[in-house]
Amino acid sequence: MEENQPGPSRQNREDMDVEKELTNKFLSGEMSFAEYSSEWCNAEDDEEFEEFKRNNDDSTQSVQLAEKSIVRRRRGTRLSPALMGLMGEANLRFARGDVEMAERMCHEIIKQLPTAAEPYQTLAQIYEKDIEKSLQFSLLAAHLSHSDAEHWWRLAGMCKQVNDVKQEMICYTQAIKSERQNLETHMKRLEFLTKLEENKYPVNTLNITRVKCYHKIVTCLPSSEGEIIMKYAKLATTMYHNTSETEKAAEVMLTAYKKCSSLFTIADINILLELLILQKQYQSCIDIFVSNIGVVIEAEIQTVKNTSGEIEEHTNYLSCITPDDMAVDLKSKLLVCFIHLGAFSLVQILLNDFLSSDVEKAGDLYMDIEEAFTSVGHYEMAIKLLEPLVKNTNFDLGAVWLKYAECLLKLDREDDAMQAYYKVLKHVPQHPDACRNLYTILKNRGEIAEALKILEQDYKYVVSASLLYEQCKLLKSQNNLLKYLEVGEALFSKDLTKFRNQEELKIACRTKGNVELIYNFRSMRGESTYHEDDIQFEEEAFQLSQKDQYEFFKELLKIACDNKLYCTMQRLTFYAMISKGISQYRHAIEFYCFQACLLNRDFSNALRFIKEFLVKYPGPRTYNLLSYIINSLDENTHGKFLSRLFQRDYNIVKHMFLGNNFLISGRYLVALKYFMEYHEQCREPLSALLIAVTILAMAAQRTVDKHHNLILQGMSYLLIYKQLRKCDQEAYYNIGRAYQMLSINNLAIEYYEKALESGPITTCEKHGVIDLTKETAYNLYVLYKDQSPEIARRYIMKYLVI
């Protein structure tokens, strides 16, 4: 008998090679037993379903091929005569009690031929007392040999003893593979699955679902088990329908139909036809109508040339006779099939008969036929079905009016289409398709104001990004920039969120365009993922390119800046910080964000950015900006930051920053130390002025001794400042201010008058003449107003009247 058997095919050899590779991996410890065993069962049901699906054209052939697909992936490997003798010796040694030698012989056989089942069977007996190890060897032997269902059931019982749920399920699955047509094997697996579900075990980790078990039963059982096939086909179809897996639902129902069509009721036929129509299997539907419903169709096969010049067969339907008692829903499905098959001569006859049906009862069927006509481009036929619906009060719905409007628009009946779209918006305000089409009609007619009104959307509800973009373009063309900015900001916020606190802004500053981190941060804190003021957008394919999005952002930023809407400007830049679309422009966005914070006088956030700029771009401009921000902040807690800033790279400007920081905080001695160090090295007028201000501030304190000495020192530094500054008006004014602070009014008046006699500080093309005349005159007015009001009035009239 063996001589007549053909040699192993190429596929079988490949399977054996895979089998050998997996077994070697397991034996060498590269793969756990759970991984090894799961390799045999992964997607095996899917493979068999695909095999069945490829061969479902003929009922008898399908069953036969399904039965042939039982052939196991794993084929037993025969031992050579030498290894067969060694295996017999091992069994004999084990029977005599020489367990150690028997085990060594088994391992030697495994080393030479790892895919042979016999040594694993003997090792399972040797380790009988170690149930876990014995089970592993038993399962290996079963995988490598032709085991029947009962053997797999016994192994499943052993898996249950060691509480190995996954392996137990695999055993039941292998039992089904061994005896596919045995209902008992299927029921055992279903019972086990039910117990797991009752115990709330995560069955999704087992690669086996209830619907897959039902589908397997329908696929495997023979036609003689028609009642059972129908029961589980209906259950599987329901579950597939609930998860929107219509292709598999159609597959399982068609399998059942080909095995036991005589058991199908009209309701079952209706479900099958519905599923086949969804899968566009119209010819299969026609066959069912003829064989089960009693429809008589006359047709002829014609040979025609297609567009590529090839000859192909085409079915020309000549006539159709339907039973008098045929249900109206079946009539609608027959119409849909003929429409898609192009049999319009029959469609016209059947449609006239269908239109006599009551719209109240068959309104949904009207819609089904209309959709079929629309899909093939026959809008004039679709209108015939929609007109009775829109006239009926029960079908005065937005969806019906939308279909009606689209058909009218396709037929170039714009006026009627406009009225229909208005009806849609009455039922469903902000419907994107209705708004878009109505806007296009109005724009083409030149009714821009009405078109803009149609594009208006309430941000409290879900909005369409594409409509916002159209609105932006139209507003820009009308030069309505403020409204353009408002709508543009809403559009730019798509897929973004507003910051709730400083922690979220920190995350945005540290990462590049990752809004998901903000959402994760909120989830970790137990907060709602989305901000309460975020706009919700519809799911649509609209998306600007990276370049267009960045240009759009800059345009919005310019409009906000030109109109001094600095809060809006800051919001836009914060949005841009977490935008993935323009993350490649991150450096520019950070600077825009910094500018917006400065303009909006949000100095705390501006400080966050200037700290980064100091590291990236150290220089006078950056230091000046830092100084401006620090002086503008209410709190003064930047001493440590300033110390760290200059710790690595020494810079003389450090003394100026730290001195100013301590001066503001009232630590005059420390400030004086830094100012003196700076002045010793640079001898600039500013450092001399700051030393004078610091000393005079110390002199004004009650706790300080020798006030007169401090005042003299302060005034001497003011004179040094005057020499270095070389600007008489500014110098005289500051000396006058110092004397006024010390209440030495006669000297203050003297220096103020000198300042008035001096020329302006400078002249600038942008800012004009810069001088201190008005400030000086006002201070003189303050000094004279109590003692000499006439002189005070003279200064006001001469210098301060506009």
The residue with greater pLDDT, 132 or 261, is 261
As a whole number, mean pLDDT of residues 417-435 equals 90
Helix (H) or strand (E) holding 769: strand 768-770
Non-local CB neighbours of 295 within 8 Å, separated by 6+ positions: 289, 320, 321, 322, 323, 326, 334
| pLDDT at residue 497 in the model | 75
The residue with greater pLDDT, 100 or 404, is 404
Mean pLDDT for the chain? 81
Q: Is the pLDDT of residue 526 over 80?
A: no
Q: DSSP secondary-structure letter at 411?
A: T
State the alpha helices, DSSP H only, in 646-797: 653-664, 668-682, 685-699, 707-725, 728-741, 745-757, 773-784, 789-795
As a whole number, mean pLDDT of residues 655-667 equals 82
Non-local CB neighbours of 698 within 8 Å, separated by 6+ positions: 668, 669, 672, 704, 710
Non-local CB neighbours of 13 within 8 Å, separated by 6+ positions: none
Band of the pLDDT at 737, cuts 50, 70, 90? very high
Most confident of 3-17, 270-284, 530-544: 270-284
- Max Cα–Cα distance, the chain, nearest Å: 138
| pLDDT at residue 325 in the model | 85
For 527, list phi and psi in degrees, rounded to 5.
-100, 165
Q: Which residue has the tokens 């679309």?
A: 581
As a whole number, mean pLDDT of residues 396-418 equals 90
| pLDDT at residue 251 in the model | 93
| Beta strands 296-305 and 311-321, pairing class | antiparallel
| pLDDT at residue 554 in the model | 92
The residue with greater pLDDT, 313 or 471, is 471
Q: Which residues pair with 311 in a beta bridge?
A: 305
pTM over 0.95: no
Instruction: Return the structure tokens found at 39.
Output: 């390799």
Q: Is the pLDDT of residue 722 over 80?
A: yes
Non-local CB neighbours of 62 within 8 Å, separated by 6+ positions: 52, 55, 56, 255, 258
Amino acid identity at 767: H
| pLDDT at residue 352 in the model | 86
d(CA 213, CA 127) in angstroms, rounded, equals: 34
Q: Express as a percent the part of the chain with pLDDT over 70.
A: 87
Structure confidence by residue, pLDDT tens digits, 108-127? 877 777 777 778 777 777 87
Q: Which residues pair with 320 in a beta bridge?
A: 297
Nearest Cα neighbor of 282 from 327, 320, 338 is 338
Q: Are 671 and 697 in contact (CB under 8 A)?
A: no
Structure confidence by residue, pLDDT tens digits, 696-705? 988 888 877 7
d(CA 673, CA 665) in angstroms, rounded, equals: 15
Query: How many Cα neighbours within 13 Å face the side chain of 218?
Result: 29
The residue with greater pLDDT, 56 or 648, is 648
Band of the pLDDT at 141, cuts 50, 70, 90? confident
| pLDDT at residue 636 in the model | 66
Structure confidence by residue, pLDDT tens digits, 23-43? 666 656 566 555 665 565 553
Nearest Cα neighbor of 456 from 426, 485, 429 is 429
As a whole number, mean pLDDT of residues 579-590 equals 86
As a whole number, mean pLDDT of residues 331-349 equals 89
| pLDDT at residue 47 in the model | 44
| pLDDT at residue 482 in the model | 93
| pLDDT at residue 69 in the model | 39
Please state whether 657 falls in left (phi above 0), alpha (psi between -120 and 50) or beta.
Answer: alpha
d(CA 561, CA 593) in angstroms, rounded, equals: 12
Q: Quick one: 292 exposed, middle or buried, by C-beta within 10 A (0-12, 13-18, 19+)? A: middle
Structure confidence by residue, pLDDT tens digits, 592-642? 999 999 999 988 888 888 888 887 888 778 888 888 888 788 776 666 777
| pLDDT at residue 32 in the model | 58
d(CA 77, CA 74) in angstroms, rounded, equals: 9
Q: Is the pLDDT of residue 555 over 90?
A: yes
For 537, list phi and psi in degrees, rounded to 5.
-110, 150
